Amino acid sequence: MDTLEWIFRCAMRLREQWPRADEVELADTARDLSLQEHLRALEPEDAAVAWLRQGIPSAA
């Protein structure tokens, strides 16, 4: 699948998590995720879930 489709599908999955988030922000996040090889190797929806499962890093 091409990069734009991957980003679109990933952004749509992120929208399910954050329905009120700005669409541009979601697309930017999906684009950033597409640059990470280990996530890009996954289906976009799976990549979004994998990223979400990482949670927010705690401050040290």
Dihedral, 43, 47, 49, 53 alpha carbons, nearest 10: 150
Dihedral, 4, 49, 33, 17 alpha carbons, nearest 10: 80
User: Phi/psi of residue 43, each to 5°?
Assistant: -60, 145
Residue ranges per structural domain of the chain: 3-52
- pLDDT of 38 reads 96
Residues 1-60 pLDDT 10s: 999 999 999 999 999 999 999 999 999 999 999 999 999 999 999 999 999 998 766 666
- pLDDT of 55 reads 78
